[in-house]
Amino acid sequence: MRREPAKERSIPKLVGADFELGNFILGVERSGGSGPEAARLLLAEIEGIPARNPAFRGRQAWLRGPYAFDPQDSGRKFLASNGGCAYIDLDHLELCIPEVTSAFDHAAASAAMLRIARGAQARANARLPDGQKLQVLINNSDGRSNSYGSHLNFLVSRAAHDDILERRPHHLHLLATHQLSSLVYSGQGKVGAENGRPEVGYQLSQRADFFEALLGPQTTYRRPIVNSRDETHCGSSDVLARLHVIFFDQTLCPGAGVLKVGAMQLVLAMLEAEDVPAKVAIDDPVAAAVAWSHDPTLRAAVRLVDGGSATAIEVQQRILEAALRHRDTHGFETVPRADEILSLWADTLEKLAARDLDALAGRLDWVLKLRILERALAQRPDLDWRAPELRYLDQLYASLDPEEGLFWPHLERGLVEPWVDDGAISRFEHEPPDDTRAWTRAMLLRRLEPREIERVDWDHLWIEAPETLQRFEVRLDDPLGFTREQTASLFGSAASERSMHENP
């Protein structure tokens, strides 16, 4: 069978994200909890176009979309403001950023979606009766052995995707090893253990306790470190593929967000080029997730396939060294601002290796949260890591409410490293990225009347003109196409000016 040359396999590492929020209503008692009600109230306050227009119900036999309806998802809305979307997933509000090409834009777009959710939270709370308050948490674990996802999605070549998941086990193991060892900078931090794991006072990751397999398509049970779900959102492309990544925590520090996404982009570029440092494979990946996450001293070593052992930092250093060699020999043309990501990666690992955590408190969530909790313990000698008060503060760190969340005062006081500026975040609240198909999606949603849109998905819009009953299918198969440069002229000067200067 003929294989594509490596150069033909190089695809810009476009990235998307979908993350669930913890939501409930204080002052409301329900037999199944208040999560479903809270999620509905939040989604109702987010302005968007329904993915399926109920006005067309019963008249959609002509639609032949590639995706089956998933009953655990409901109420999906696409946002004309920025091309992203919001919906309810298993009683959690879930936010999806518009597709972006850089790790820095990912961090900005994620923060923008949180601002949109914060506005919805404020409006929903204004409607609630006295004694009730809707709470939103930007985390991945409720402390009762329930975990909810923070997923990333990367555009890769179909050949590289199949190598990772179907053909080349050393490709799979490099990806798994990188994800696992990246806990040292990608974790949000958590008090205690869950899912039957050994007791621990504090650990690096919210999600690590919940991984029970190396590979699989499932996301809500027996969670795999590497997810094999194959939904391209690129039409029926046999060239492009979407790698669905469910391993990471949701982070609030911009530096952690840039690094977890940017380093993944670099590793995927290496895999596409078939430049794979195979000697860093972990012997037991599931056990490594727990061992490394449960050790905030960063000294835990796990067995490697070659018979040696290494800490997470040592494994990351080996992968970074391979990435630096790749830059010097091949370059990273498909990863925007690759040199900045490499510098951030190297500096972070150097400080972690020196155990200089104070220097990383403004960059990494697990370190910032640890310092906050350690101060609480110092002020209350009667408390230890098993105290309910510590678990409460753990949850409060990630509260979306700026008056309650423990993260936000550190951000406001300049104690968090500003890897993305406020202007970039504000722009993604109101505008789509210029360099992906999200721009055209947003412009179509703005230009069309809601009653004209029969259905919208990431790569399709189905439109019916009510007056003539003419039906159209708009295909947005290329995530890197339909950019502002390519399609702005189709919408006329008024649409372009509105996109540049006005909030929708």
Catalytic machinery residues: 89
Sequence letter at residue 133: K
Q: Considering only CA atoms, which of 93, 3, 96 is closest in space to residue 45?
A: 93
DSSP strands (E only) in 258-389 = 301-303, 309-311
d(CA 442, CA 84): 8
Contacts of residue 422, Cβ cutoff 8 Å, sequence gap at least 6: none
d(CA 491, CA 112): 25
DSSP strands (E only) in 395-480 = 453-456, 460-465, 470-475
d(CA 332, CA 17): 22
Strand partners, 85: 78, 96
Judged on CB neighbours under 10 Å (0-12, 13-18, 19+), 358 is exposed
Q: Which single residue is written with the structure tokens 């070549």? A: 157
Give the total residue count for the chain: 504
Instruction: Quote the distance between the C-alpha of residue 17 and its chain's center.
Output: 4
Judged on CB neighbours under 10 Å (0-12, 13-18, 19+), 230 is middle
d(CA 173, CA 157): 18
Q: Considering only CA atoms, which of 80, 26, 10 is closest in space to residue 431?
A: 80
Sequence letter at residue 431: E
Instruction: Quote the distance between the C-alpha of residue 232 and its chain's center.
Output: 17
Sequence letter at residue 464: E
Question: Which pair of structure tokens corresponds to residue 105?
Answer: 């834009």
